[in-house]
């Protein structure tokens, strides 16, 4: 019998409860990563789940994990396959038990159940959240809003977050069983997916994938540059290094554990004093936590057009698809400079500020009138930090079918741009064609006016904004 440590979104070695669990079980250990082959298969709109920036981050994270495991004397087996079929077949030839992270998304839960029904013993270990399933602070029903959730979690000075464990001392490597898998290797597939994508010069901040880089950045962010000291004031900015923590991709792939980040912030508070900024970073981690437990509670409902069905009655059927609007979105040619700049940044870098994400989601849902799930899938393809719970939870929230008791949020793209990009710096950065225009000229383009100043190839807006949007101050 061997213990397969099946890595999914927990690509690290330090503070890794999966390895501790494997050490406790005592059998020889085989670390495994299965890249689910369906991630590369296009869905109905031609989008798959593995865009180029995301593939690059995953490739770097796996390379780093492989190096760290090999320093513990453990090889990392990597395959492209259907995880359920692969593990069941393997079990038939090589008796094994599996140690893996607690399931988050419904499809992860399905695979774990399928393995168990085939007689595989699976130990699920909490590795992705601050709280643990054995000590949740809400009595029985999951809170319907974030503020109720936060109040319960913060009661009595909480949350009490367990200290992450260090690296386990001794693990005996298992012999690698023979593999019959005709798919391309993980590295070959990721190289092909990554294609010619590389970090562009415009990407003023770019964190490579992997635990090593993530730990270094966390240290720099908190203790060297101390960017956290202005977090609450700058977190809504659109451009520049250190306006927000940029920890999302490392958290999404588990290069860092959220418990580790939480305790690092507490250490910062001990060293430099707690204030509204350090509290606010922990507050944002509670948003992540909220969406993670919500996904476990509501499961696949978050993927329905009508969402979670907690508050208002949502229409059961999605709006008619509008191919012209959708292509303009996908090409970042909506004709609204602020929207196009955000679309360009996301496509070029795989990252976008929280403010930018809120604006894009609101625009797609409330101004273009498209099915919110299209936008969520598009984000899933592009975002290096894609996280099922946070992405789908936030989209549903803005669409008014998630946890927002007010029934959805529209952000005026005009006012948002005027407030958050007062010098037009962000816009000119991502739209060089508009570089010589004044901010007022760009505003005229935004309202389909100002034909004189329109650069030749810049499109007219694909949608007229409501009159109320014209008032900007
Ligand atoms: C439509 C939409 C889609 C999103 N999709 C994702 C996603 O796929 N993955 C993802 O990690 N975040 C997602 N977010 C949340 C948020 O935009 C990003 O976490 C944040 O912009 C990442 O940058 P940062 O690490 O510098 O964030 P910081 O502001 O430094 O926040 C620190 C951490 O707190 C967490 N966090 C912050 N805001 C949120 C939030 N609103 N919801 C959940 N967690 C939050 C993240 O883990 C983040 O890394 C989405 C938000 C919106 C509006």
Q: What is the pLDDT of residues 369-406, one digit of tens each?
A: 999 999 999 999 999 999 999 999 999 999 999 998 88
State the pLDDT confidence band at 450, using cuts at 50, 70 and 90. Answer: low
- Ligand 1 pocket check for 377: Cβ under 6 Å: no
- For the cut 80, the answer to whether the pLDDT of residue 239 exceeds it is yes
- For the cut 70, the answer to whether the pLDDT of residue 115 exceeds it is yes
State the pLDDT confidence band at 196, using cuts at 50, 70 and 90. Answer: confident
- Listed residue (6, 172, 5, 1) closest to 74, CA to CA: 172
- Ligand 1 pocket check for 385: Cβ under 6 Å: yes
HEC-encoded secondary structure of the chain: CEEEEEECCCCCCCCCHHHHHHHHHCCCEEEEEEEEHHHHCCCCCCCCCCCHHHHHHHHHHHHHHHHHHHHCCCCCEEEEECHHHHHHHHHHHCCEEEEEECCCCHHHHHHHHHHHHCCCEEEEECCCCCCCHHHCCCCCCCCCCHHHHHHHHHHHHCCCCCCCCCCCCCCCECCCCCCCCCCCCHHHHHHHHHCCCCCCCCCCCCCCCCHHHHHHHHHHHHHHCCHHHHHHHHCCCCCCCCCCCCCHHHHHCCCCCHHHHHHHHHHHHHHHCCCHHHHHHHHHHHHHHHHHHHHHHHHHHHHCCCCCCCCCCCCCCCCCCCHHHHHHHHCCCCCCHHHHHHHHHHHHHCCCCHHHHHHHHHHHHHHCCCCHHHHHHHHHHHCCCCCHHHHHHHHHHHHCCCCCCCCCCCCCHHHHHHHHCCCCHHHHHHCHHHCCCCHHHHHHHHCCCCHHHCCCCCCCCCCCCCHHHHCCC
Ligand 1: nearest atom to the Cα of 360? 1
- Strands, sheet with 2-7, edge to edge from the N-terminal-most edge strand: 77-81, 29-36, 2-7, 96-101, 121-125
Helix 372-382 vs helix 52-71: crossing angle, to nearest 10: 50
- Average pLDDT, whole number, for the chain? 93
Average pLDDT of 408-432? 92
- For the cut 70, the answer to whether the pLDDT of residue 473 exceeds it is no
Candidate of 239, 394, 410 to mutate for ligand 1, largest count of ligand atoms within 8 Å of Cβ: 394
Share of the chain above pLDDT 70, in %: 98
State the pLDDT confidence band at 339, using cuts at 50, 70 and 90. Answer: very high
Residue nearest atom 24 in ligand 1 by C-alpha distance: 246
Domain spans in the chain, listed from the N-terminal domain onward: 1-127, 128-161+211-299, 323-470
Ranked by mean pLDDT, which of 121-135, 223-237, 456-470 comes out on top?
Answer: 223-237
- The pLDDT value recorded for residue 4 is 97
State the pLDDT confidence band at 254, using cuts at 50, 70 and 90. Answer: very high
Query: What is d(CA 181, CA 458) in angstroms, rounded to the nearest whole number?
Result: 48
State the pLDDT confidence band at 176, using cuts at 50, 70 and 90. Answer: confident
- Ligand 1 pocket check for 100: Cβ under 6 Å: no
- The pLDDT value recorded for residue 110 is 96
Candidate of 203, 288, 289 to mutate for ligand 1, largest count of ligand atoms within 8 Å of Cβ: 288
- For the cut 80, the answer to whether the pLDDT of residue 428 exceeds it is yes
Q: Rounded to whole angstroms, what are the CA distances from 278 to 39, 223, 226? A: 36, 12, 10
Does 386 show up as a binding residue in the annotation?
Answer: yes
- The pLDDT value recorded for residue 313 is 73
Query: What is d(CA 437, CA 418) in angstroms, rounded to the nearest whole number?
Result: 15
CATH of the structural domain 128-161+211-299, one choice from 1.10.3720.10, 1.25.40.80, 1.10.3470.10, 3.40.50.261: 1.25.40.80
In CATH, what class is 323-470? mainly alpha
Identify which has the larger pLDDT, 164 or 363.
Answer: 363
Q: What is the pLDDT of residues 83-103, one digit of tens each?
A: 999 999 999 988 999 999 999
Query: What is d(CA 448, CA 465) in angstroms, rounded to the nearest whole number?
Result: 10
Average pLDDT of 222-230? 98
- The pLDDT value recorded for residue 451 is 63
- Ligand 1 pocket check for 342: Cβ under 6 Å: no
Query: What is d(CA 393, CA 380) in angstroms, rounded to the nearest whole number?
Result: 12
- Ligand 1 pocket check for 248: Cβ under 6 Å: yes
State in Å: Cα 413 to ligand 1 middle. 20
Ligand 1: nearest atom to the Cα of 395? 1
- Ligand 1 pocket check for 431: Cβ under 6 Å: no
Which residues, 6+ apart, have CB-to-CB distance to 96 below 8 Å? 1, 2, 3, 4, 30, 90, 120
**Given the structure tokens 């409330």, which residue do they identify?**
366
Does 387 show up as a binding residue in the annotation?
Answer: yes
State in Å: Cα 453 to ligand 1 middle. 36
Residue nearest atom 11 in ligand 1 by C-alpha distance: 248
- Ligand 1 pocket check for 358: Cβ under 6 Å: yes
Does 247 show up as a binding residue in the annotation?
Answer: yes
Ligand 1: nearest atom to the Cα of 290? 43
Average pLDDT of 31-47? 94
- For the cut 70, the answer to whether the pLDDT of residue 261 exceeds it is yes
State the pLDDT confidence band at 178, using cuts at 50, 70 and 90. Answer: confident
- The pLDDT value recorded for residue 102 is 95
Query: What is d(CA 463, CA 333) in angstroms, rounded to the nearest whole number?
Result: 12
Ligand 1: nearest atom to the Cα of 385? 9
Ligand 1: nearest atom to the Cα of 388? 8
State the pLDDT confidence band at 202, using cuts at 50, 70 and 90. Answer: low
CA 125-129-131 angle, 5° bins:
95
Candidate of 236, 284, 292, 353 to mutate for ligand 1, largest count of ligand atoms within 8 Å of Cβ: 284
- Ligand 1 pocket check for 67: Cβ under 6 Å: no
Which residues, 6+ apart, have CB-to-CB distance to 325 below 8 Å? 368, 370, 462, 463
Query: What is d(CA 212, CA 250) in angstroms, rounded to the nearest whole number?
Result: 10
Of 46-55, 307-316, 408-417, the poorest mean pLDDT is in 307-316
- For the cut 90, the answer to whether the pLDDT of residue 237 exceeds it is yes
Query: What is d(CA 372, CA 272) in angstroms, rounded to the nearest whole number?
Result: 42
- For the cut 80, the answer to whether the pLDDT of residue 180 exceeds it is no
Query: What is d(CA 125, CA 102) in angstroms, rounded to the nearest whole number?
Result: 5
- The pLDDT value recorded for residue 284 is 98
Q: Under CATH, domain 1-127 is a member of which superfamily?
A: HUPs (3.40.50.620)
ipTM of predicted assembly, 2 dp:
0.99
Residue nearest atom 36 in ligand 1 by C-alpha distance: 284
- Listed residue (413, 315, 401, 318) closest to 363, CA to CA: 413
């Amino acid at each position: 019998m061997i213990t397969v440590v099946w890595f999914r979104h927990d690509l690290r070695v330090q503070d890794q409860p999966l390895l501790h669990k494997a050490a406790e079980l005592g059998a020889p250990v085989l670390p495994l990563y299965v890249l689910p082959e369906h991630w590369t298969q296009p869905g109905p709109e031609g989008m798959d789940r593995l865009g180029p920036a995301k593939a690059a981050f995953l490739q770097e994270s796996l390379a780093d994990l492989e190096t760290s495991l090999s320093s513990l004397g453990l090889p990392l087996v990597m395959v492209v396959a259907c995880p359920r079929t692969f593990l069941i077949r393997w079990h038939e030839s090589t008796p094994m038990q599996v140690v893996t992270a607690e399931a988050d998304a419904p499809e992860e839960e399905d695979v774990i159940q399928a393995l168990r029904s085939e007689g595989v013993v699976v130990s699920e270990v909490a590795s992705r959240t601050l709280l643990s399933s054995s000590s949740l602070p809400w009595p029985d029903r999951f809170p319907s809003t974030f503020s109720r959730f936060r109040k319960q979690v913060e009661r009595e000075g909480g949350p009490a977050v367990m200290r992450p464990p260090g690296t386990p001392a001794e693990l005996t490597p298992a012999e690698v069983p023979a593999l019959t898998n005709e798919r391309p290797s993980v590295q070959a597939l990721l190289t092909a997916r990554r294609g010619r994508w590389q970090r562009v010069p415009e990407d003023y901040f770019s964190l490579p994938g992997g635990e090593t880089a993530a730990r270094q950045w966390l240290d720099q962010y908190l203790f060297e540059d101390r960017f956290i000291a202005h977090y609450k004031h700058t977190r809504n900015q659109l451009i520049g290094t250190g306006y927000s923590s940029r920890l999302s991709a490392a958290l999404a792939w588990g290069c860092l554990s959220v418990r580790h980040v939480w305790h690092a912030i507490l250490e910062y508070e001990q060293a430099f004093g707690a204030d509204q900024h350090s509290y606010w970073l922990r507050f944002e981690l509670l948003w992540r936590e909220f969406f993670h437990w919500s996904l476990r509670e509501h499961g696949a409902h978050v993927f329905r057009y009508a969402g979670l069905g907690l508050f208002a009655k949502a229409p059961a059927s999605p709006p008619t698809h509008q191919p012209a609007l959708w292509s303009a979105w996908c090409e970042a040619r909506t004709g609204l400079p602020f929207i196009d700049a955000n679309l360009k940044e996301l496509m070029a870098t795989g990252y976008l500020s929280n403010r930018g994400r809120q604006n894009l989601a609101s625009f797609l849902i409330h101004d273009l009138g498209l099915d919110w799930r299209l936008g969520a899938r598009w984000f899933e393809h592009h975002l290096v930090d894609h996280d099922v719970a946070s992405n789908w939870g936030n989209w549903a929230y803005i669409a008014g079918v998630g946890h927002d008791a007010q029934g959805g949020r529209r952000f005026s793209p005009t006012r948002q741009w005027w407030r958050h990009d007062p010098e037009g710096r962000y816009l000119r950065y991502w739209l060089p064609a508009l570089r010589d225009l004044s901010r007022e000229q760009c505003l005229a383009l935004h309202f389909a006016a100002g034909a004189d100043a329109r650069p030749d190839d810049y499109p007219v807006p694909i949608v007229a904004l409501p009159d109320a949007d014209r008032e900007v101050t």
